[in-house]
Amino acid sequence: MKAREIRELGADELAQKIRETSAEIASMRMRKASGVAVDGYGKIRGMKRDVARMHTILTERERGGQK
């Protein structure tokens, strides 16, 4: 997910997206640990980066866009 797409989301939508993505990451990690085949182990890395990007944008909003 691109930063531009994330910025278009409202605060509630963004918080929901963070929860959903974090839950999906946890699910994929559990499947990987249990030995079940998971499609695209590299996808976890991208999802973690998306969550970090979302948290960064939330923090920017809280601080009023200051850098």
Tens-digit pLDDT profile for residues 27-67: 988 888 888 877 777 889 999 999 999 999 999 998 986 55
For the 3-62 domain, the top CATH level (class) is mainly alpha
pTM comes to 0.82
User: Average pLDDT for residues 16-26, to the nearest whole number?
Assistant: 95
Cα three-residue angle 24-30-32, rounded to 5 degrees: 100
From the list 52, 59, 60, 65, the residue with the least C-alpha distance to 17 is 52
Q: What is the DSSP string of the chain?
A: --HHHHHHS-HHHHHHHHHHHHHHHHHHHHHHHHT---S-THHHHHHHHHHHHHHHHHHHHHTTS--
What pLDDT, on a 0 to 100 scale, did the predictor assign at position 37? Answer: 75
Domain boundaries in the chain?
3-62
What pLDDT, on a 0 to 100 scale, did the predictor assign at position 8? Answer: 93
